[in-house]
């Protein structure tokens, strides 16, 4: 549907026409240089002048032509396939499962389908081999939300065993979504005993003789009442240890700690949890990170056009940070 609107009332349109007519009439009424022009040509010139002035006056009303159209957009259905080893029960079923999925998408044309495979990484593809050793459900949900921001998402179909050993708890990410999630239970959905060094947050650079922080997130399934030991090694030298007591079968906790930078250079830190008998997987009990220790402090120059007590206060405040030099 097409419509015409103006910034001002359309009642001004007759005024534009009258103004154009009067302008042309006054211009040609007593102009002697047009006396030799034929009547037809003079009338044509009058009409062109009338139209041009009227159109210019009309454009001053700021006209806008609106063209409204209706487009029906199919909802997007996201199919997210868990590609981890724990999902697969029989390798012979991979090809059959893949064919049935593609056939289902082809027969149901009410929606636009997007297929994602997730495990160690998130990829938009319909090919999977169930070979990943890690599963990060929260990262997949976050990627889908960001890629299809402000689009017509109908739902996510999540095909997984629900077991994750990397990243944050997916419940936190689910609460930020504005579309439903439907699940297909695959593989062995029983939660097995497992201790997981879930994540390590740290700064890649530290300064000599200062303390640098770690945030270590630990998860444990079906290990209530068990204990483990958190150890941190700096270039194979033990620099920190702490006893971890698991108080629930769905244990998840963050530990904040600080270590002192005593030597300049690159330091390879290994963060590990001692194994607990009965764990289904012990490869996720440790992580390695690299931190550079530097002795070059950040220099700050304080300039003032006159002495002032606030300058001394600012310097004293900056001295509290060992990484700054004034």
76-185 and 194-294 in the same fold? no
pLDDT > 80? residue 64: yes
**What is the structure's pLDDT at 295?**
83
What would the two tokens of residue 325 be? 């030099």
Backbone angles phi, psi at 96, to 5 degrees: -65, -45
Residue 189 is predicted with a pLDDT of 61
The predicted-structure confidence for 267-293, as pLDDT tens digits, reads as follows 999 999 999 999 988 889 999 999 999
Query: Closest Cα to residue 113, out of 145, 147, 154, 151?
Result: 154
CATH number of the 194-294 domain = 2.60.40.10
Give CA–CA dist 234/289, Å, rounded.
10
**pLDDT value of position 18:** 84
Mean pLDDT of 44-68: 83
- First-last CA distance in the chain: 68
For residues 59-85, give the mean pLDDT.
Answer: 84
Give the model's confidence band at 32: pLDDT under 50 very low, under 70 low, under 90 confident, else very high: low
Tokens in use for 205?
Answer: 């650079």
**How many CA atoms lie less than 13 Å away from 67 in the CB half-sphere?**
1
- Give me the residue spans of the domains in the chain: 2-67, 76-185, 194-294, 297-326
96 pLDDT above the threshold of 90: no
With beta carbons less than 8 A apart as the criterion, state whether 293 and 265 touch: yes
Residues 6 or more apart in contact with residue 31 via CB below 8 angstroms: none
pLDDT band, residue 95 (cuts 50/70/90): confident
Percent of the chain exceeding pLDDT 90 equals: 26
User: Helices marked H in the chain — which ranges?
Assistant: 13-29, 39-59, 93-107, 137-147, 170-174, 309-319
Class (C level, CATH) for 76-185 = alpha beta
- Cα angle for residues 198, 201, 207 (degrees, 5° grid): 150
pLDDT at 6 over 80: no
Question: Mean pLDDT score of the chain, rounded to an integer?
Answer: 84
How do residues 12-29 score in pLDDT, each as one tens digit? 788 878 888 888 777 777
Residue 190 confidence (pLDDT) above 80: no
- Whether residue 138 is predicted with pLDDT greater than 80 in this model: the reply is yes
CA pair distance 316, 326, nearest whole angstrom:
10
Q: Which residues contact 296 (CB under 8 A, 6 or more apart)?
A: 207
* CB burial string 155-164: b at 16+ within 10 A, e below: bbbbbbbbbb
d(CA 50, CA 24): 5
For residue 221, list its beta bridge partners. 194, 250
207-255 pLDDT per residue, tens: 888 899 999 999 999 999 999 999 999 999 999 999 999 999 999 999 9
Of these ranges, 49-58, 81-90, 226-235, the one predicted with the greatest mean pLDDT is 226-235
Which pLDDT tens digit goes with each residue over 139-186?
A: 888 998 888 888 888 899 988 888 787 888 888 888 888 889 998 888
Considering only CA atoms, which of 206, 185, 318, 219 is closest in space to residue 261? 206
For the chain, the residue count is 326
């Amino acid at each position: 549907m097409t419509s015409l609107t103006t910034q001002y009332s359309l009642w001004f349109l007759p005024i534009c026409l009258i103004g154009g007519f009067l302008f042309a009439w006054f211009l040609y009424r007593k102009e002697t240089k047009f006396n030799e022009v034929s009547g037809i040509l003079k009338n044509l010139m009058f009409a062109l002048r009338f139209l041009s002035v009227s159109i210019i006056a009309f454009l001053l009303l700021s006209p806008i032509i609106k063209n409204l159209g209706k487009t029906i957009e199919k909802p997007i259905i996201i199919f997210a396939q868990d590609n981890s080893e724990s999902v697969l029960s029989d390798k012979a079923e991979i090809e059959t499962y893949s064919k049935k999925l593609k056939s289902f998408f082809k027969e149901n044309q009410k929606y636009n389908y997007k297929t994602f495979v997730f495990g160690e990484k998130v990829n938009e593809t319909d090919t999977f081999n169930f070979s990943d050793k890690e599963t990060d459900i929260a990262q997949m949900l976050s990627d889908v939300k960001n890629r299809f921001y402000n689009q017509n998402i109908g739902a996510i179909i999540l095909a997984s065993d629900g077991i994750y050993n990397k990243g944050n708890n997916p419940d936190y990410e689910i609460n930020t979504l504005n579309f439903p999630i439907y699940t297909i239970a695959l593989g062995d959905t029983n939660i097995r005993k497992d201790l997981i060094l879930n994540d390590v947050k740290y700064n890649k650079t530290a300064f000599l003789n200062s303390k640098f922080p770690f945030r270590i997130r630990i998860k444990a399934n079906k290990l209530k009442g068990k204990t483990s030991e958190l150890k941190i090694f700096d270039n194979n030298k033990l620099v920190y240890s702490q006893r971890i007591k698991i108080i629930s079968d769905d244990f998840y906790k963050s530990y904040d700690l600080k270590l002192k930078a005593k030597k300049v250079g690159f330091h390879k830190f290994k963060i590990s949890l001692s194994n607990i008998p009965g764990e289904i997987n012990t490869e996720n009990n440790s992580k390695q990170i690299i931190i550079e220790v530097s002795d070059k402090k950040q220099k700050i120059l304080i300039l003032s056009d006159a002495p002032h007590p606030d300058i001394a206060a600012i310097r004293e405040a900056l001295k509290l940070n060992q990484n700054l030099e004034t």
